[in-house]
């Protein structure tokens, strides 16, 4: 039985991880650019899902669809796919492929078909699966996040408990790379519960990778602003190559931050900025404009903070997209004010702002292509 993986730039890291997990069960995933017999697997997010809906519903092979969109909207996705993987795929996907190959109809946990649904009953321990094997990807070191930011799918998909890959497994997996990059919701939270940092464990991790060019606290392993301190930046300075630190601010308004349940203040963001500059590091700071809660003045407050940040750093700006499964699902994005648009345009022209505050599809597809390993 031939099992295929539909090539989608955004899902390249999922392909690497799931291909490795399938390999552990003796299954090879073949990358294809259109559905092929016998089985074709997809990983969809909410922006690219509309582009693949038709292709999946017309496919003449068996289709298996997972990813953040399918996990949140499995009842919708199973209308046009044969099987939907709900939640993490490392255990579920090989078990489902084995079920299909054996002719059984007993779904493994974490799968929905048109006729039945078995909700997930497990979570994946990262060290039980290699982060990648033949298909290379970034090394995922942590899964799960204790914060519940209103717009984010991570806690819904991976839960609120942080699960970390063991240091010796990370060291072994990354031997094939000269440049090492990680996937994590917060690089500085490695080894901790996400709230009480364990910089001793971060140091142990970084020391274990001596001799390699380490990129930590920058794409795709951003950090949270309140984790930036002299001690954490000392670690990055002494062990890593990057001189940029990427963290999320999202809004310049404390009221909006509280409603988003971000767990930090606008002052924390400026403190993080100052510490980065004191360490001669360039802060790259994420913002979301058009958040449902913000007033016109609060949108302008975000831009005022962005202007402060761009004196010595850069901003990465997105227009709010309501994602299914999140507390803000179904809420409409606010319009970006004309004066805010002009200001963002000015920052972009000066090379100080990136991202897309115009069109979510442009943002996702362009960034997908720019940021592949
Ligand atoms: S945005 Fe970051 S900190 Fe907030 S829930 Fe998502 S992963 Fe966690």
207 CA from centroid of ligand 1 (Å): 27
pLDDT confidence of residue 359: 57
CA distance 167 to 147: 24
CATH number of domain containing 16:
3.40.50
pLDDT in tens, 42-72: 999 999 999 999 999 999 999 999 999 999 9
Residue nearest to atom 2 of ligand 1 (CA): 185
Helix (H, G, I), strand (E, B) or coil at 267: helix
SS (H, E, C) 24-36: HCCCCEEEECCCC
The pick from 142, 144, 152 for probing ligand 1's pocket by mutation, whose C-beta has the most ligand atoms within 8 angstroms, reads 152
Amino acid 364: pLDDT: 44
d(CA 228, CA 278): 12
Examine the domain organization and report whether 111 and 184 are in the same domain.
no
Domain containing 11: what range?
Answer: 3-118
Which residue from 68, 143, 144, 154 has its CB within 8 A of the most atoms of ligand 1, so it is best to mutate? 154
Domain count, the chain: 2
pLDDT at position 210 is 93
Q: Is 234 inside any structural domain?
A: yes
Q: What is the pLDDT of residue 373?
A: 39
Residue 161 lies in a domain: yes
Q: Among 143, 149, 156, 219, say which to mutate for ligand 1: greatest number of ligand atoms within 8 Å of CB.
A: 149
Contact 37, 60 (CB under 8 A): yes
Query: d(Cα 31, Cα 76) in Å, to the nearest integer?
Result: 25
Alpha carbon distance 172, 191 (integer Å): 17
Span from the CA of 151 to the centroid of ligand 1 (angstroms): 9
State the Cα–Cα distance between residues 325 and 68, nearest whole angstrom.
Answer: 9
How big is the CA angle at 193 (ends 325 and 246), to the nearest 5 degrees? Answer: 70
Which ligand 1 atom is nearest residue 185's CA? 7
Token reading at 164: 């970390």
> Is residue 124, in this structure, part of any structural domain at all?
no
* d(C-alpha 232, C-alpha 349), whole Å: 32
Return the structure tokens found at 73: 């909207």
On whether both 144 and 17 belong to a single domain, the answer is: no
Q: Same domain for 170 and 41?
A: no
Which atom number of ligand 1 is nearest to the Cα of residue 222?
2
Task: Give the model confidence (pLDDT) of 232-287 as tens digits.
Answer: 999 999 999 999 999 999 999 999 999 999 999 999 999 999 999 999 999 999 99
Last residue of a domain, one of 118, 149, 167: 118
* φ/ψ (deg, to 5) at 69: -65, -45
Give the 3-state secondary structure of residue 315.
strand
Eight-class DSSP state of 372: -
- Asked if residue 185 and residue 71 are part of one domain, the reply reads no
Q: What is the CATH number of the domain that holds 238?
A: 3.80.30.20
Ligand 1 centroid to residue 18 C-alpha, Å:
23
Q: What is the rounded distance in angstroms from the CA atom of residue 124 to the CA atom of residue 89?
A: 9
290 and 357 belong to one structural domain: yes
> Looking at ligand 1, which residue's alpha carbon is closest to its atom 3?
147
**CA distances in angstroms from 158 to 34, 145, 271, 275, listed in the order given:** 29, 8, 30, 31
Return the residue whose CA atom lies nearest to atom 6 of ligand 1: 152
Same domain flag for 76 and 143: no
State in Å: Cα 152 to ligand 1 middle.
Answer: 6
Give the length of the chain: 373
How confident is the model at residue 356, as a pLDDT? Answer: 81
Please state the atom number of ligand 1 nearest to the C-alpha of residue 224: 3
Residue 31 lies in a domain: yes
- Asked which of 56, 84, 118 is the last residue of a domain, the reply is 118
CA nearest neighbour of 108 among 84, 76, 127, 126: 84
Peptide bond into 119 cis (omega under 30): no
- Which of 68, 86, 118 terminates a domain? The answer is 118
CA distance 158 to 161: 8
Lining ligand 1 with CB less than 6 A are 145, 147-149, 152, 154-155, 185, 224
* Token code pair at residue 10: 């955004």
Check residues 369 and 32 and name the one with the higher pLDDT: 32
Q: Is residue 74 part of a domain?
A: yes
Residue minimizing CA distance to atom 7 of ligand 1? 185
Band of the pLDDT at 76, cuts 50, 70, 90?
Answer: very high
Pocket test for ligand 1, best of 68, 157, 185 (most atoms within 8 A of CB): 185
Per-residue pLDDT, averaged over 20-27, amounts to: 97
Distance 244 CA to ligand 1 centre (A): 20
Cβ burial, residue 313 (10 Å; 0-12/13-18/19+)? buried
**Do both 224 and 351 map to the same domain?**
yes
Span 327-346, pLDDT tens digits: 999 999 999 999 999 999 99
My answer on whether 39 and 166 are in the same domain is: no
Per residue in 157-214, pLDDT (tens digit) is 999 999 999 999 999 999 999 999 999 999 999 999 999 999 999 999 999 999 999 9
- Report the C-alpha gap between 344 and 358 in whole angstroms: 11
The rounded Cα 355 to chain-centroid distance in angstroms is 15
Q: Is residue 254 part of a domain?
A: yes
pLDDT of residue 369: 42
Are residues 151 and 267 located together in one domain of the fold?
yes
156 and 26, same domain (yes or no): no
Q: Which ligand 1 atom is nearest residue 262's CA?
A: 4
The predicted pLDDT at position 34 comes to 98
pLDDT tier at 357 (50, 70, 90 boundaries)?
A: confident
pLDDT above 80 for 347: yes
Residue 123 lies in a domain: no
Q: Whose CA is nearest to atom 4 of ligand 1?
A: 149
Contact status, residue 364 vs residue 47, Cβ threshold 8 Å = yes
Would you call the peptide bond into 168 cis, given omega within 30 degrees of 0 as the criterion?
A: no
Distance 97 CA to ligand 1 centre (A): 32
Q: Give domain status of residue 310, yes or no.
A: yes
Of 244, 191, 189, 181, the closest CA to residue 213 belongs to 181
Which of 142, 147, 318 for mutating ligand 1's site (highest number of atoms within 8 Å of CB)? 147
The average pLDDT across 339-365 equals: 81
Residues 109 and 143 in one domain: no
Phi/psi for 257 (5° steps) reads -60, -40
Residue showing tokens 């190559």: 241
CA distance 220 to 106: 38
Check whether residue 188 and residue 302 sit in a common domain.
yes
Q: Which atom of ligand 1 is nearest to the CA of 145?
A: 8
Q: Using one digit for the tens of pLDDT, what is the confidence trace for 102-161? A: 999 999 999 999 999 999 999 999 999 999 999 999 999 999 999 999 999 999 999 999
């Amino acid at each position: 039985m031939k099992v295929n993986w539909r090539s989608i730039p955004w899902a390249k890291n999922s392909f690497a991880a799931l291909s490795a997990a399938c390999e552990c069960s003796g299954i090879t995933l073949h990358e294809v650019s259109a559905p092929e017999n016998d089985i074709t697997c997809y990983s969809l997010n909410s922006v690219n899902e509309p582009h693949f809906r038709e292709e999946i519903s017309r496919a003449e092979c068996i289709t298996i669809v997972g990813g953040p969109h399918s996990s949140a909207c499995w009842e919708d996705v199973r209308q046009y796919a044969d099987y939907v993987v709900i939640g993490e795929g490392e255990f579920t996907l090989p078990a489902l492929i084995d079920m299909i190959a054996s002719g059984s109809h007993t779904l493994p946990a974490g799968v929905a078909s048109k006729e039945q649904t078995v909700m997930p009953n497990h979570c994946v321990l990262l060290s039980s699966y290699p982060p990648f094997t033949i298909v290379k990807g970034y090394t995922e070191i942590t899964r799960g996040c204790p914060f519940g930011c209103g717009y984010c799918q991570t806690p819904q998909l991976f839960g609120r408990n942080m699960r970390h890959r063991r240091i010796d497994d990370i060291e072994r997996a990354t031997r094939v790379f000269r440049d090492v990059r990680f996937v994590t919701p917060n690089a500085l939270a490695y080894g901790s519960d996400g709230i009480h940092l364990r910089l001793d464990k971060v140091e142990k991790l970084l020391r274990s990778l001596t001799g390699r060019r380490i990129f930590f606290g920058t794409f795709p392993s951003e950090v949270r602003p309140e984790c930036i301190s002299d001690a954490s930046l000392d670690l990055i300075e002494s062990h890593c190559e990057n001189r940029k630190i990427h963290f999320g601010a999202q809004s310049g308004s404390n009221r909006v931050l509280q409603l988003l349940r971000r767990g930090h203040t606008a002052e924390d963001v400026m403190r993080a900025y100052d510490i980065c500059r004191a360490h001669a590091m360039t802060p790259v700071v994420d913002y979301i404009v058009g958040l449902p809660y913000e007033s016109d003045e609060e949108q302008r407050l975000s831009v005022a903070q962005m202007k402060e940040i761009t004196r010595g750093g850069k901003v990465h700006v997105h227009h709010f997209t309501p994602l299914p499964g999140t507390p803000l699902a179904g809420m409409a994005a606010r319009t970006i004010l004309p004066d805010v648009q002009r200001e963002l345009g000015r920052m972009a022209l000066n090379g100080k702002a990136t991202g897309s505050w115009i069109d979510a599809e442009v943002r996702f597809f362009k960034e997908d292509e720019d940021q592949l390993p």
